[in-house]
Amino acid sequence: MGRKKNKPEWQDDALNMVRALKAGEVVVHSTDTVWGIGANAHNAESVKRIFAIKERPVESTLLMLVDSPGMLEKYLPKLPDSAWDLIEVSDRPVTIIAPCSDKAKADLAPGLVAKDGTLAVRLVHDDYMAFIIRGLGAPLASTSANQSGKPTPDSFGQLQGEILDRADAIAHYRRNAKPNALASMMVKFDEHNRITVIRS
């Protein structure tokens, strides 16, 4: 009889998040940057609720979290080598904004693809978040877990009651972690692969 592998400390919590997301719920979760609020990126009603909970204008599209280069490429198929190089060498998470595939426009919930046909996507480098996305079998629509115009929560203690009260499920993992004020770098590539740094 083989030895049982020790499961990660976050696994039970991640499984709860997967179950909630598969049920169409909106979840508050930790990420590799700040605390976020998320839903299945293919579930239009759930994504719509994120906007309502945050009191966010629908024109301010959400970003999408993916767990693998393959999933990233599915939605942003024409990324130049320079984008992949940036993701690989950056010492912090990178959100890429670029023109998305026609499939993405058809499959994703409203509120993710911008009017100019671009999509903001971050490949997570965090085992907990990657496990959740993989378990869901779909990308995660996500944004910071604060109401629009209020400070971004870089620790669980900074989350607003209005957000916690209106979400369906709240992660336990990293509730006691030190604040992480590191937002992702954000860069945009246009249809000619010209790069603009949105947030450094």
In a domain? residue 188: yes
pLDDT at residue 11, as a whole number = 95
Q: Which amino acid is at 47?
A: V
Q: Decide: 65 and 140 in contact? Cβ < 8 Å.
A: yes
In a domain? residue 2: no
- The enclosing domain of 170 has a CATH number of 3.90.870.10
In a domain? residue 119: yes
Consecutive H or E run containing 46:
helix 44-54
In a domain? residue 6: no
In a domain? residue 3: no
Q: Which amino acid is at 75?
A: Y
Block means of pLDDT (10 residues each) for the chain, length 200 residues? 74 97 97 92 97 92 96 94 92 92 92 95 94 98 92 88 95 86 84 86
Listed in sequence order, the residues at least 6 apart from 164 whose beta carbon sits closer than 8 Å to its beta carbon are 28, 170
Dihedral (CA of 57, 189, 185, 8) sign: positive
In a domain? residue 120: yes
In a domain? residue 1: no
pLDDT at residue 70, as a whole number = 95
Number of domains in the chain: 1
Q: Is 70 helix (H, G, I), strand (E, B) or coil?
A: helix
Q: How far apart are CA 111 and CA 152, in angstroms?
A: 20
Task: Specify the pTM.
Answer: 0.92
In a domain? residue 4: no
Q: By residue range, what is the domain housing residue 171?
A: 11-199
Helices (H), the chain: 11-22, 44-54, 69-75, 81-89, 102-107, 127-136, 161-166
3-state helix, strand, coil in the chain (%, to 5): 30, 20, 45
pLDDT at residue 40, as a whole number = 98
pLDDT at residue 168, as a whole number = 97
- Under DSSP, the state recorded for 35 is -
pLDDT at residue 103, as a whole number = 86
Q: If we measure between CA atoms, which residue out of 21, 42, 52, 60 comes closest to residue 171?
A: 21
